[in-house]
A = this chain, B = another copy of it.
Amino acid sequence: MALARMLERYLPILVWLPHYRRELFSHDLLAGLIVTVMVIPQSLAYALLAGLPAVVGLYASILPLFAYTIFGSSRTLAVGPVAIIALMTAAALAGVAAPGSSAYIEAALVLTLLSGLMLTIMGLLRLGFFANFLSHPVISGFLSASGLLIAASQAAHLLGITASGYTLVALLSDLIAHLGDLHWPTLAVGAATLAFLVVMRRHAKTALIRLGFPERLADLLGKTGPVFAVAITTLICWRFDLATSGVAVVGDVAGGLPPLTLPGFEPALWKELLIPALLISVVGFVESVSMGQMLAAKRRERISPDQELIGLGTSNLAAAFSGGMPVTGGLSRTVINFDAGARTPAAGIVAALGIAVATLFFTPLLHYLPVATLAAVITVSILTLVDVQAMRRTWRYSRSDFAAMLATLGLTLIEGVEAGILAGVGLSIGLFLYRTSRPHSALVGRVPGTEHFRNMARHHVESSQRVALLRIDESLYFANARYLEDTVYGLIAEHPGLDHVVLICSAVNLIDASALESLEAINARLADAEVTLHLAEVKGPVMDRLKHTDFIEALTGRVFFSTYSAWRELNPTSAGTSQAVSER
Protein backbone atom coordinates (compact mmCIF):
# COMPACT_ATOMS: atom_id res chain seq x y z
CA MET A 1 0.00 0.00 0.00
CA ALA A 2 2.70 2.45 1.05
CA LEU A 3 4.64 1.61 -2.10
CA ALA A 4 1.58 2.18 -4.24
CA ARG A 5 1.00 5.54 -2.62
CA MET A 6 4.61 6.52 -3.12
CA LEU A 7 4.48 5.47 -6.75
CA GLU A 8 1.32 7.52 -7.21
CA ARG A 9 3.02 10.50 -5.64
CA TYR A 10 6.07 10.37 -7.85
CA LEU A 11 4.27 9.11 -10.97
CA PRO A 12 1.03 11.10 -11.19
CA ILE A 13 0.26 9.28 -14.43
CA LEU A 14 -0.74 6.28 -12.28
CA VAL A 15 -3.56 8.36 -10.83
CA TRP A 16 -5.38 9.12 -14.05
CA LEU A 17 -4.30 6.45 -16.53
CA PRO A 18 -6.13 3.48 -14.94
CA HIS A 19 -9.39 5.47 -15.04
CA TYR A 20 -8.90 6.65 -18.58
CA ARG A 21 -12.03 6.34 -20.74
CA ARG A 22 -12.65 6.67 -24.44
CA GLU A 23 -14.88 9.67 -23.82
CA LEU A 24 -11.93 11.57 -22.34
CA PHE A 25 -9.80 10.63 -25.31
CA SER A 26 -11.99 12.43 -27.82
CA HIS A 27 -11.43 15.65 -25.83
CA ASP A 28 -7.72 15.04 -25.48
CA LEU A 29 -7.30 14.13 -29.15
CA LEU A 30 -8.91 17.33 -30.33
CA ALA A 31 -6.94 19.47 -27.85
CA GLY A 32 -3.70 17.73 -28.79
CA LEU A 33 -4.22 18.30 -32.51
CA ILE A 34 -5.04 21.95 -31.98
CA VAL A 35 -1.95 22.40 -29.82
CA THR A 36 0.18 20.73 -32.51
CA VAL A 37 -0.84 23.21 -35.14
CA MET A 38 -0.64 26.22 -32.84
CA VAL A 39 2.70 25.65 -31.18
CA ILE A 40 4.82 24.88 -34.26
CA PRO A 41 5.32 28.55 -35.18
CA GLN A 42 6.02 29.42 -31.53
CA SER A 43 8.52 26.64 -31.09
CA LEU A 44 10.47 27.67 -34.16
CA ALA A 45 10.41 31.32 -33.07
CA TYR A 46 11.66 30.68 -29.54
CA ALA A 47 14.50 28.49 -30.78
CA LEU A 48 15.62 31.36 -32.99
CA LEU A 49 15.26 33.76 -30.07
CA ALA A 50 17.59 31.51 -28.09
CA GLY A 51 20.13 31.72 -30.92
CA LEU A 52 19.53 28.09 -31.89
CA PRO A 53 18.45 26.49 -35.19
CA ALA A 54 14.67 26.66 -35.56
CA VAL A 55 14.26 22.88 -35.54
CA VAL A 56 15.59 22.69 -31.98
CA GLY A 57 12.31 24.26 -30.90
CA LEU A 58 10.44 21.36 -32.45
CA TYR A 59 12.73 18.75 -30.89
CA ALA A 60 12.14 20.38 -27.51
CA SER A 61 8.38 20.00 -27.98
CA ILE A 62 8.36 16.22 -28.41
CA LEU A 63 10.08 14.07 -25.78
CA PRO A 64 9.65 16.62 -22.94
CA LEU A 65 5.88 16.32 -23.37
CA PHE A 66 6.12 12.56 -22.77
CA ALA A 67 8.22 13.11 -19.65
CA TYR A 68 5.79 15.68 -18.29
CA THR A 69 2.86 13.39 -19.01
CA ILE A 70 4.43 10.75 -16.77
CA PHE A 71 5.82 12.91 -13.98
CA GLY A 72 3.91 16.21 -14.01
CA SER A 73 1.07 16.89 -11.59
CA SER A 74 -0.91 19.40 -13.61
CA ARG A 75 -3.47 17.93 -15.98
CA THR A 76 -3.40 20.67 -18.56
CA LEU A 77 0.07 22.18 -18.50
CA ALA A 78 1.87 22.03 -21.85
CA VAL A 79 5.66 22.17 -21.72
CA GLY A 80 7.98 23.42 -24.41
CA PRO A 81 10.27 26.34 -25.23
CA VAL A 82 8.96 29.66 -23.89
CA ALA A 83 10.01 33.22 -24.63
CA ILE A 84 11.58 34.23 -21.29
CA ILE A 85 13.56 31.03 -20.99
CA ALA A 86 14.71 31.36 -24.57
CA LEU A 87 15.91 34.88 -23.83
CA MET A 88 17.69 33.73 -20.68
CA THR A 89 19.26 30.87 -22.64
CA ALA A 90 20.60 33.30 -25.20
CA ALA A 91 21.98 35.57 -22.47
CA ALA A 92 23.60 32.62 -20.67
CA LEU A 93 25.25 31.27 -23.79
CA ALA A 94 26.36 34.65 -25.15
CA GLY A 95 29.72 34.51 -23.41
CA VAL A 96 30.28 30.83 -24.17
CA ALA A 97 30.12 30.44 -27.92
CA ALA A 98 29.00 32.14 -31.13
CA PRO A 99 25.22 31.78 -31.71
CA GLY A 100 24.48 29.03 -34.21
CA SER A 101 27.89 27.35 -33.88
CA SER A 102 28.02 23.70 -32.90
CA ALA A 103 29.73 24.67 -29.63
CA TYR A 104 26.71 26.87 -28.93
CA ILE A 105 24.25 24.05 -29.58
CA GLU A 106 26.35 21.77 -27.41
CA ALA A 107 26.37 24.36 -24.59
CA ALA A 108 22.59 24.69 -24.85
CA LEU A 109 22.30 20.96 -24.23
CA VAL A 110 24.54 21.24 -21.16
CA LEU A 111 22.41 24.13 -19.90
CA THR A 112 19.27 22.05 -20.42
CA LEU A 113 20.81 19.06 -18.67
CA LEU A 114 21.91 21.16 -15.67
CA SER A 115 18.51 22.76 -15.40
CA GLY A 116 16.86 19.34 -15.58
CA LEU A 117 19.13 17.92 -12.89
CA MET A 118 18.58 20.90 -10.61
CA LEU A 119 14.82 20.84 -10.95
CA THR A 120 14.62 17.08 -10.41
CA ILE A 121 16.89 17.19 -7.36
CA MET A 122 15.02 20.16 -5.91
CA GLY A 123 11.81 18.21 -6.39
CA LEU A 124 13.16 15.11 -4.68
CA LEU A 125 14.38 17.31 -1.80
CA ARG A 126 10.92 18.89 -1.69
CA LEU A 127 12.27 22.40 -2.19
CA GLY A 128 9.22 23.66 -4.04
CA PHE A 129 8.72 26.34 -1.40
CA PHE A 130 11.83 28.12 -2.71
CA ALA A 131 9.72 29.51 -5.50
CA ASN A 132 7.87 31.55 -2.90
CA PHE A 133 10.86 33.81 -2.44
CA LEU A 134 10.12 35.45 -5.75
CA SER A 135 7.49 37.97 -4.75
CA HIS A 136 4.69 38.81 -7.17
CA PRO A 137 5.93 42.37 -7.82
CA VAL A 138 9.40 41.04 -8.63
CA ILE A 139 8.00 38.46 -11.04
CA SER A 140 5.78 41.06 -12.63
CA GLY A 141 8.64 43.55 -13.01
CA PHE A 142 10.87 40.84 -14.43
CA LEU A 143 8.27 39.66 -16.95
CA SER A 144 7.52 43.20 -18.10
CA ALA A 145 11.20 43.96 -18.61
CA SER A 146 11.78 40.66 -20.40
CA GLY A 147 8.85 41.42 -22.66
CA LEU A 148 10.40 44.76 -23.59
CA LEU A 149 13.82 43.18 -24.14
CA ILE A 150 12.39 40.46 -26.36
CA ALA A 151 10.35 43.00 -28.33
CA ALA A 152 13.48 45.09 -28.86
CA SER A 153 15.44 42.05 -30.05
CA GLN A 154 12.65 41.13 -32.45
CA ALA A 155 12.43 44.65 -33.82
CA ALA A 156 15.71 43.98 -35.62
CA HIS A 157 14.24 40.96 -37.41
CA LEU A 158 11.16 42.93 -38.33
CA LEU A 159 13.31 45.67 -39.85
CA GLY A 160 15.61 43.22 -41.61
CA ILE A 161 18.71 44.49 -39.82
CA THR A 162 21.00 42.84 -37.30
CA ALA A 163 21.19 43.89 -33.68
CA SER A 164 22.47 41.88 -30.77
CA GLY A 165 22.83 42.31 -27.05
CA TYR A 166 21.01 41.35 -23.88
CA THR A 167 20.32 44.76 -22.40
CA LEU A 168 17.97 47.43 -23.67
CA VAL A 169 20.80 49.92 -24.14
CA ALA A 170 22.89 47.49 -26.19
CA LEU A 171 19.90 46.47 -28.29
CA LEU A 172 18.63 49.97 -28.96
CA SER A 173 22.02 51.48 -29.75
CA ASP A 174 22.72 48.57 -32.09
CA LEU A 175 19.32 49.05 -33.71
CA ILE A 176 19.88 52.74 -34.23
CA ALA A 177 23.40 52.23 -35.54
CA HIS A 178 22.16 49.79 -38.17
CA LEU A 179 18.99 51.66 -39.05
CA GLY A 180 20.56 52.57 -42.38
CA ASP A 181 20.56 48.88 -43.40
CA LEU A 182 16.78 48.77 -43.15
CA HIS A 183 15.41 46.23 -45.63
CA TRP A 184 12.08 47.34 -47.01
CA PRO A 185 10.73 43.99 -48.25
CA THR A 186 11.42 42.42 -44.84
CA LEU A 187 9.75 45.33 -43.11
CA ALA A 188 6.74 44.93 -45.39
CA VAL A 189 6.37 41.24 -44.47
CA GLY A 190 6.98 41.95 -40.78
CA ALA A 191 4.65 44.92 -40.51
CA ALA A 192 1.87 43.21 -42.45
CA THR A 193 2.12 40.11 -40.24
CA LEU A 194 2.17 42.26 -37.13
CA ALA A 195 -0.94 44.16 -38.24
CA PHE A 196 -2.71 40.91 -39.18
CA LEU A 197 -1.91 39.32 -35.81
CA VAL A 198 -3.01 42.36 -33.82
CA VAL A 199 -6.29 42.56 -35.72
CA MET A 200 -6.91 38.80 -35.33
CA ARG A 201 -6.19 39.04 -31.61
CA ARG A 202 -8.43 42.01 -31.02
CA HIS A 203 -11.34 41.49 -33.37
CA ALA A 204 -11.44 37.96 -34.80
CA LYS A 205 -13.44 36.47 -31.96
CA THR A 206 -16.20 39.06 -31.92
CA ALA A 207 -16.36 39.09 -35.71
CA LEU A 208 -16.71 35.30 -35.85
CA ILE A 209 -19.39 35.33 -33.18
CA ARG A 210 -21.26 37.93 -35.16
CA LEU A 211 -20.99 35.65 -38.20
CA GLY A 212 -22.79 33.02 -36.19
CA PHE A 213 -19.93 30.81 -34.95
CA PRO A 214 -20.42 29.31 -31.49
CA GLU A 215 -18.38 31.16 -28.89
CA ARG A 216 -15.83 28.46 -28.07
CA LEU A 217 -15.06 27.80 -31.70
CA ALA A 218 -14.79 31.53 -32.39
CA ASP A 219 -12.38 31.87 -29.51
CA LEU A 220 -10.26 29.03 -30.80
CA LEU A 221 -10.26 30.23 -34.40
CA GLY A 222 -9.35 33.69 -33.17
CA LYS A 223 -6.13 32.21 -31.86
CA THR A 224 -5.13 30.69 -35.20
CA GLY A 225 -3.64 33.98 -36.35
CA PRO A 226 -0.05 32.76 -36.08
CA VAL A 227 -0.83 29.59 -38.04
CA PHE A 228 -2.37 31.54 -40.89
CA ALA A 229 0.39 34.15 -40.76
CA VAL A 230 3.03 31.43 -41.07
CA ALA A 231 1.22 29.67 -43.90
CA ILE A 232 0.44 32.79 -45.89
CA THR A 233 3.81 34.52 -45.57
CA THR A 234 5.64 31.27 -46.39
CA LEU A 235 3.53 30.91 -49.52
CA ILE A 236 4.14 34.52 -50.55
CA CYS A 237 7.83 34.24 -49.87
CA TRP A 238 8.02 31.08 -51.97
CA ARG A 239 5.83 32.36 -54.78
CA PHE A 240 7.64 35.69 -55.19
CA ASP A 241 11.04 34.29 -54.26
CA LEU A 242 11.53 36.99 -51.65
CA ALA A 243 14.52 35.12 -50.20
CA THR A 244 16.69 36.04 -53.17
CA SER A 245 15.74 39.69 -52.76
CA GLY A 246 17.12 39.51 -49.22
CA VAL A 247 14.20 38.61 -46.95
CA ALA A 248 15.68 36.33 -44.27
CA VAL A 249 14.00 32.91 -44.20
CA VAL A 250 14.31 29.94 -41.87
CA GLY A 251 16.10 28.00 -44.61
CA ASP A 252 16.86 24.32 -44.65
CA VAL A 253 15.66 22.61 -41.54
CA ALA A 254 17.14 19.19 -40.87
CA GLY A 255 14.06 17.01 -40.70
CA GLY A 256 13.69 13.64 -39.08
CA LEU A 257 13.16 12.55 -35.55
CA PRO A 258 15.00 14.23 -32.66
CA PRO A 259 18.59 12.98 -32.52
CA LEU A 260 19.85 11.21 -29.43
CA THR A 261 22.26 13.71 -27.91
CA LEU A 262 24.66 13.28 -25.04
CA PRO A 263 25.61 16.59 -23.42
CA GLY A 264 29.39 16.61 -22.95
CA PHE A 265 31.03 16.93 -19.58
CA GLU A 266 33.46 19.82 -19.58
CA PRO A 267 34.01 21.03 -15.99
CA ALA A 268 34.77 24.66 -16.92
CA LEU A 269 31.64 24.93 -19.04
CA TRP A 270 29.48 23.26 -16.39
CA LYS A 271 30.76 25.63 -13.76
CA GLU A 272 30.13 28.65 -15.95
CA LEU A 273 26.56 27.56 -16.69
CA LEU A 274 25.70 26.66 -13.10
CA ILE A 275 24.22 29.99 -12.02
CA PRO A 276 22.41 30.64 -15.32
CA ALA A 277 20.95 27.12 -15.14
CA LEU A 278 19.75 27.78 -11.60
CA LEU A 279 18.10 31.05 -12.59
CA ILE A 280 16.51 29.48 -15.65
CA SER A 281 15.23 26.64 -13.49
CA VAL A 282 13.76 28.94 -10.87
CA VAL A 283 12.19 31.39 -13.30
CA GLY A 284 10.79 28.57 -15.43
CA PHE A 285 9.43 26.81 -12.39
CA VAL A 286 7.80 29.93 -10.99
CA GLU A 287 6.19 30.81 -14.30
CA SER A 288 4.98 27.27 -14.79
CA VAL A 289 3.73 26.62 -11.29
CA SER A 290 1.81 29.90 -11.00
CA MET A 291 0.01 29.10 -14.22
CA GLY A 292 -0.57 25.50 -13.19
CA GLN A 293 -2.10 26.63 -9.91
CA MET A 294 -4.33 29.12 -11.60
CA LEU A 295 -5.70 26.54 -14.05
CA ALA A 296 -5.99 23.80 -11.42
CA ALA A 297 -8.00 26.20 -9.26
CA LYS A 298 -10.44 26.72 -12.13
CA ARG A 299 -11.22 23.00 -12.18
CA ARG A 300 -11.02 22.46 -8.40
CA GLU A 301 -7.89 20.36 -8.79
CA ARG A 302 -4.63 20.82 -6.95
CA ILE A 303 -1.07 20.57 -8.13
CA SER A 304 1.94 19.72 -6.02
CA PRO A 305 4.83 22.20 -6.38
CA ASP A 306 7.36 19.53 -5.42
CA GLN A 307 6.00 17.13 -8.04
CA GLU A 308 5.95 19.94 -10.60
CA LEU A 309 9.68 20.33 -10.02
CA ILE A 310 10.15 16.67 -10.90
CA GLY A 311 7.83 16.97 -13.90
CA LEU A 312 9.70 19.98 -15.28
CA GLY A 313 13.08 18.47 -14.34
CA THR A 314 12.47 15.26 -16.25
CA SER A 315 11.10 17.29 -19.17
CA ASN A 316 14.38 19.18 -19.35
CA LEU A 317 16.37 15.97 -19.05
CA ALA A 318 14.36 14.59 -21.95
CA ALA A 319 15.10 17.78 -23.90
CA ALA A 320 18.80 17.52 -23.11
CA PHE A 321 19.00 14.00 -24.55
CA SER A 322 16.98 14.74 -27.68
CA GLY A 323 18.69 17.79 -29.15
CA GLY A 324 16.41 20.28 -27.41
CA MET A 325 16.70 23.42 -25.30
CA PRO A 326 15.46 24.44 -21.84
CA VAL A 327 11.69 24.03 -21.54
CA THR A 328 8.98 24.86 -19.05
CA GLY A 329 5.22 25.15 -18.91
CA GLY A 330 4.39 27.74 -21.55
CA LEU A 331 1.61 30.25 -20.97
CA SER A 332 0.19 30.40 -24.48
CA ARG A 333 0.46 26.68 -25.29
CA THR A 334 -1.10 25.78 -21.96
CA VAL A 335 -3.98 28.18 -22.39
CA ILE A 336 -4.60 26.82 -25.89
CA ASN A 337 -4.55 23.27 -24.52
CA PHE A 338 -6.90 24.21 -21.68
CA ASP A 339 -9.32 26.14 -23.89
CA ALA A 340 -9.29 23.37 -26.49
CA GLY A 341 -10.69 21.09 -23.82
CA ALA A 342 -7.77 18.91 -22.73
CA ARG A 343 -8.86 16.68 -19.85
CA THR A 344 -5.69 14.73 -19.06
CA PRO A 345 -2.00 14.86 -19.94
CA ALA A 346 -2.86 12.45 -22.77
CA ALA A 347 -3.53 15.58 -24.81
CA GLY A 348 0.19 16.32 -24.42
CA ILE A 349 1.04 12.91 -25.88
CA VAL A 350 -1.16 13.62 -28.86
CA ALA A 351 0.53 16.98 -29.37
CA ALA A 352 3.97 15.38 -29.03
CA LEU A 353 3.12 12.78 -31.66
CA GLY A 354 1.69 15.47 -33.90
CA ILE A 355 4.82 17.60 -33.65
CA ALA A 356 6.96 14.51 -34.24
CA VAL A 357 5.06 13.80 -37.45
CA ALA A 358 5.46 17.43 -38.49
CA THR A 359 9.19 17.33 -37.76
CA LEU A 360 9.51 14.08 -39.70
CA PHE A 361 7.66 15.10 -42.85
CA PHE A 362 6.89 18.79 -43.06
CA THR A 363 10.12 20.61 -42.24
CA PRO A 364 10.91 21.21 -45.94
CA LEU A 365 7.79 23.39 -46.02
CA LEU A 366 9.41 25.68 -43.48
CA HIS A 367 12.28 26.60 -45.80
CA TYR A 368 10.56 29.76 -47.08
CA LEU A 369 9.10 30.83 -43.74
CA PRO A 370 10.31 34.44 -43.23
CA VAL A 371 12.10 35.12 -39.96
CA ALA A 372 10.19 38.39 -39.80
CA THR A 373 6.94 36.42 -39.51
CA LEU A 374 8.26 34.58 -36.49
CA ALA A 375 9.46 37.88 -35.01
CA ALA A 376 5.96 39.28 -35.40
CA VAL A 377 4.49 36.18 -33.72
CA ILE A 378 6.86 36.60 -30.77
CA THR A 379 6.32 40.33 -30.50
CA VAL A 380 2.55 40.11 -30.35
CA SER A 381 2.49 37.34 -27.80
CA ILE A 382 5.26 38.80 -25.64
CA LEU A 383 3.92 42.31 -25.26
CA THR A 384 1.07 40.99 -23.14
CA LEU A 385 3.74 40.39 -20.49
CA VAL A 386 4.18 44.14 -20.02
CA ASP A 387 1.68 44.59 -17.24
CA VAL A 388 1.15 48.29 -16.67
CA GLN A 389 -2.02 47.53 -14.73
CA ALA A 390 -0.07 45.52 -12.12
CA MET A 391 2.44 48.34 -11.78
CA ARG A 392 -0.25 50.90 -11.12
CA ARG A 393 -1.98 48.62 -8.59
CA THR A 394 1.26 47.88 -6.76
CA TRP A 395 2.18 51.58 -6.65
CA ARG A 396 -1.14 52.36 -5.01
CA TYR A 397 -0.94 49.59 -2.46
CA SER A 398 2.66 49.59 -1.33
CA ARG A 399 5.53 51.90 -2.20
CA SER A 400 8.18 49.44 -1.11
CA ASP A 401 6.74 46.58 -3.16
CA PHE A 402 6.65 48.99 -6.05
CA ALA A 403 10.30 49.87 -5.46
CA ALA A 404 11.21 46.19 -5.68
CA MET A 405 9.21 45.88 -8.88
CA LEU A 406 10.79 48.96 -10.42
CA ALA A 407 14.30 47.93 -9.46
CA THR A 408 13.78 44.51 -11.02
CA LEU A 409 12.34 46.08 -14.13
CA GLY A 410 15.10 48.66 -14.44
CA LEU A 411 17.97 46.29 -13.72
CA THR A 412 16.63 43.66 -16.11
CA LEU A 413 16.48 46.26 -18.86
CA ILE A 414 19.84 47.85 -18.07
CA GLU A 415 21.93 44.98 -16.75
CA GLY A 416 20.18 41.96 -18.23
CA VAL A 417 17.92 39.17 -17.05
CA GLU A 418 20.24 37.55 -14.50
CA ALA A 419 21.13 40.75 -12.67
CA GLY A 420 17.48 41.77 -12.72
CA ILE A 421 16.09 38.62 -11.19
CA LEU A 422 18.85 38.39 -8.56
CA ALA A 423 18.41 42.01 -7.54
CA GLY A 424 14.67 41.52 -7.36
CA VAL A 425 14.95 38.54 -5.04
CA GLY A 426 17.54 40.30 -2.88
CA LEU A 427 15.43 43.41 -2.67
CA SER A 428 12.22 41.54 -1.79
CA ILE A 429 13.95 39.77 1.04
CA GLY A 430 15.78 42.91 2.15
CA LEU A 431 12.60 44.95 2.25
CA PHE A 432 10.79 42.31 4.24
CA LEU A 433 13.65 42.11 6.73
CA TYR A 434 13.78 45.89 6.94
CA ARG A 435 10.05 46.08 7.64
CA THR A 436 10.17 43.42 10.32
CA SER A 437 13.39 44.83 11.79
CA ARG A 438 11.53 47.87 13.10
CA PRO A 439 8.42 46.26 14.49
CA HIS A 440 5.36 48.24 15.35
CA SER A 441 4.74 48.33 19.07
CA ALA A 442 2.16 50.19 21.09
CA LEU A 443 1.59 51.17 24.69
CA VAL A 444 -1.92 49.99 25.42
CA GLY A 445 -4.45 50.88 28.07
CA ARG A 446 -7.71 49.43 29.23
CA VAL A 447 -10.93 50.34 27.50
CA PRO A 448 -12.84 51.53 30.62
CA GLY A 449 -15.08 48.91 32.14
CA THR A 450 -13.99 46.10 29.79
CA GLU A 451 -11.33 43.44 29.52
CA HIS A 452 -10.13 44.93 26.24
CA PHE A 453 -6.91 46.88 25.75
CA ARG A 454 -6.20 49.31 22.97
CA ASN A 455 -3.39 51.56 21.73
CA MET A 456 -3.14 54.58 24.06
CA ALA A 457 -2.21 56.82 21.16
CA ARG A 458 -5.39 55.95 19.25
CA HIS A 459 -8.04 55.52 21.94
CA HIS A 460 -9.20 56.98 25.25
CA VAL A 461 -8.15 54.31 27.70
CA GLU A 462 -7.18 53.90 31.33
CA SER A 463 -3.47 53.73 32.02
CA SER A 464 -1.13 53.75 34.98
CA GLN A 465 2.05 55.70 35.75
CA ARG A 466 3.51 52.59 37.33
CA VAL A 467 2.58 49.87 34.86
CA ALA A 468 3.53 50.04 31.18
CA LEU A 469 1.67 47.60 28.92
CA LEU A 470 3.70 47.26 25.72
CA ARG A 471 2.15 45.29 22.88
CA ILE A 472 4.67 43.99 20.36
CA ASP A 473 3.28 43.51 16.87
CA GLU A 474 5.94 41.26 15.39
CA SER A 475 7.81 38.01 15.87
CA LEU A 476 11.05 38.61 17.76
CA TYR A 477 14.17 37.52 15.90
CA PHE A 478 17.72 38.63 15.26
CA ALA A 479 16.84 41.47 12.93
CA ASN A 480 14.66 43.24 15.47
CA ALA A 481 16.07 42.02 18.78
CA ARG A 482 18.21 45.09 19.28
CA TYR A 483 15.35 47.35 18.28
CA LEU A 484 13.22 45.82 21.01
CA GLU A 485 15.94 46.58 23.54
CA ASP A 486 16.06 50.19 22.36
CA THR A 487 12.28 50.47 22.60
CA VAL A 488 12.16 49.18 26.17
CA TYR A 489 15.15 51.22 27.32
CA GLY A 490 13.62 54.32 25.74
CA LEU A 491 10.38 53.54 27.55
CA ILE A 492 11.93 53.38 31.00
CA ALA A 493 14.08 56.44 30.30
CA GLU A 494 10.95 58.46 29.43
CA HIS A 495 8.82 57.16 32.31
CA PRO A 496 10.92 57.35 35.47
CA GLY A 497 8.00 56.35 37.70
CA LEU A 498 7.59 52.88 36.21
CA ASP A 499 7.57 49.80 38.44
CA HIS A 500 6.36 47.22 35.93
CA VAL A 501 6.78 46.61 32.23
CA VAL A 502 4.48 44.01 30.67
CA LEU A 503 5.36 42.77 27.19
CA ILE A 504 2.14 41.65 25.48
CA CYS A 505 3.12 38.88 23.09
CA SER A 506 -0.19 38.15 21.33
CA ALA A 507 1.40 38.84 17.93
CA VAL A 508 4.76 37.24 18.70
CA ASN A 509 4.83 34.00 16.73
CA LEU A 510 8.50 33.22 17.23
CA ILE A 511 11.32 34.14 19.59
CA ASP A 512 14.70 33.08 18.22
CA ALA A 513 17.97 32.66 20.12
CA SER A 514 19.09 36.26 19.45
CA ALA A 515 15.81 37.67 20.70
CA LEU A 516 16.03 35.44 23.75
CA GLU A 517 19.41 37.00 24.59
CA SER A 518 17.90 40.44 24.15
CA LEU A 519 15.06 39.53 26.50
CA GLU A 520 17.65 38.36 29.03
CA ALA A 521 19.49 41.67 28.66
CA ILE A 522 16.25 43.63 29.04
CA ASN A 523 15.32 41.65 32.13
CA ALA A 524 18.74 42.28 33.73
CA ARG A 525 18.79 45.95 32.87
CA LEU A 526 15.24 46.53 34.15
CA ALA A 527 16.22 44.71 37.32
CA ASP A 528 19.13 47.16 37.75
CA ALA A 529 16.64 49.99 37.36
CA GLU A 530 14.27 48.27 39.81
CA VAL A 531 11.60 47.71 37.22
CA THR A 532 9.93 44.31 37.06
CA LEU A 533 9.51 42.65 33.65
CA HIS A 534 6.42 40.56 32.90
CA LEU A 535 5.10 38.76 29.84
CA ALA A 536 1.46 38.35 28.87
CA GLU A 537 -0.49 36.37 26.27
CA VAL A 538 2.49 34.28 25.22
CA LYS A 539 1.36 31.82 22.54
CA GLY A 540 1.43 28.09 23.22
CA PRO A 541 4.27 27.13 20.87
CA VAL A 542 6.39 30.08 22.00
CA MET A 543 5.85 29.29 25.68
CA ASP A 544 6.72 25.62 25.11
CA ARG A 545 10.20 26.73 24.10
CA LEU A 546 10.68 29.44 26.71
CA LYS A 547 9.77 27.06 29.51
CA HIS A 548 13.21 25.52 29.91
CA THR A 549 15.38 28.58 29.40
CA ASP A 550 17.53 30.57 31.82
CA PHE A 551 15.51 33.62 30.84
CA ILE A 552 12.29 32.34 32.30
CA GLU A 553 14.18 31.33 35.45
CA ALA A 554 15.67 34.81 35.78
CA LEU A 555 12.50 36.70 34.81
CA THR A 556 11.86 39.18 37.61
CA GLY A 557 8.11 39.18 37.05
CA ARG A 558 5.49 36.71 35.87
CA VAL A 559 3.94 35.31 32.75
CA PHE A 560 0.28 36.31 32.66
CA PHE A 561 -2.39 34.43 30.72
CA SER A 562 -4.08 37.63 29.60
CA THR A 563 -3.37 41.34 29.56
CA TYR A 564 -6.37 41.83 31.75
CA SER A 565 -5.06 39.58 34.49
CA ALA A 566 -1.70 41.40 34.35
CA TRP A 567 -3.52 44.71 34.68
CA ARG A 568 -5.68 43.46 37.57
CA GLU A 569 -2.74 42.02 39.48
CA LEU A 570 -0.29 44.86 38.95
CA ASN A 571 -2.60 47.81 39.33
CA PRO A 572 -3.07 48.73 42.99
CA THR A 573 -6.32 50.58 42.28
CA SER A 574 -8.05 47.46 41.04
CA ALA A 575 -8.97 44.25 42.81
CA GLY A 576 -5.57 42.57 43.01
CA THR A 577 -2.57 43.98 44.82
CA SER A 578 0.91 44.63 43.51
CA GLN A 579 2.21 42.19 46.11
CA ALA A 580 1.24 39.38 43.81
CA VAL A 581 4.16 40.34 41.60
CA SER A 582 6.80 38.85 43.84
CA GLU A 583 5.05 35.49 43.82
CA ARG A 584 7.25 33.53 41.46
- Which residues of A come within 8 Å of B, CB atoms? 129, 131-138, 293-294, 297, 300, 302, 305, 393-394, 396-398, 401-402, 428-429, 432-440, 455, 458, 473-475, 477-483, 485-486, 489, 493, 506-507, 509-510, 512-514, 516-517, 521, 525, 529, 539-541, 545, 548-550
Contacts and interface: CB of A to CB of B under 8 A. Distances in A.
Nearest to A129: B437
B401 A483 contact: no
B135 A513 contact: yes
A134 B479 CA distance: 8
A479 B516 contact: no
A550 B394 CA distance: 11
Contacts of A516: 397
A509 B442 CA distance: 12
Contact of A396 (B134, B135, B548): B548
Given A137-B513, A455-B540, A550-B393, A132 B479 contact: yes
Nearest to A493: B302
Given A297-B525, A539-B473, A435 B394 contact: no
Contacts of A132: 437, 478-483
A449 to B, nearest CB: 15
Contact of A509 (B394, B440, B513): B440
Given A135-B513, A513-B135, A550-B393, A521 B297 contact: yes
Contacts of A455: 540
Contacts of A300: 529
A437 B478 CA distance: 17
A428 B135 contact: no
State the oligomeric state as a number of copies: 2
A398 B482 contact: no
Contacts of A507: 506-507, 509
Most chain B C-beta atoms within 10 Å of own C-beta, residue among A433, A438, A521:
A433
Contacts of A458: 540
Nearest to A294: B521
A551 to B, nearest CB: 9
Contact of A512 (B135, B433, B481, B513): B135
A290 to B, nearest CB: 9
A509 B432 contact: no
Most chain B C-beta atoms within 10 Å of own C-beta, residue among A297, A478, A507, A540:
A478
A498 to B, nearest CB: 14
A297 B489 contact: yes
A219 to B, nearest CB: 20
Contacts of A479: 132-133, 135, 432
Given A132-B479, A397-B516, A458-B540, 19 more contacts: A129-B483, A132-B482, A135-B478, A135-B479, A135-B514, A136-B514, A137-B513, A294-B521, A297-B489, A302-B486, A396-B548, A396-B549, A401-B513, A429-B433, A432-B478, A440-B509, A473-B539, A474-B475, A506-B507
A440 B507 CA distance: 12
A133 B432 contact: no
22 contacts: A129-B438, A132-B437, A132-B479, A132-B482, A133-B478, A133-B479, A135-B514, A136-B513, A136-B514, A305-B482, A394-B513, A396-B548, A398-B512, A401-B512, A401-B514, A428-B478, A429-B433, A436-B509, A436-B510, A440-B541, A473-B509, A474-B475
Contacts of A398: 512-513, 545
Nearest to A133: B479
Contact of A478 (B136, B485, B493, B549): B136
Contacts of A480: 132
Given A433-B429, A507-B507, A539-B473, A513 B397 contact: yes
B136 A549 contact: no
Nearest to A474: B509
A132 B438 CA distance: 11
A521 B436 CA distance: 25
A227 B439 CA distance: 47
Contacts of A513: 135-137, 393-394, 397-398, 401-402
Contacts of A478: 132-136, 138, 428, 432
A397 B540 contact: no
Nearest to A509: B473
A485 B506 CA distance: 24
A393 B514 CA distance: 11
A506 to B, nearest CB: 6
A531 to B, nearest CB: 12
- The 4 lowest CB-CB distance pairs between A and B, nearest first, are A135-B478, A401-B513, A136-B514, A135-B514
A529 B301 CA distance: 12
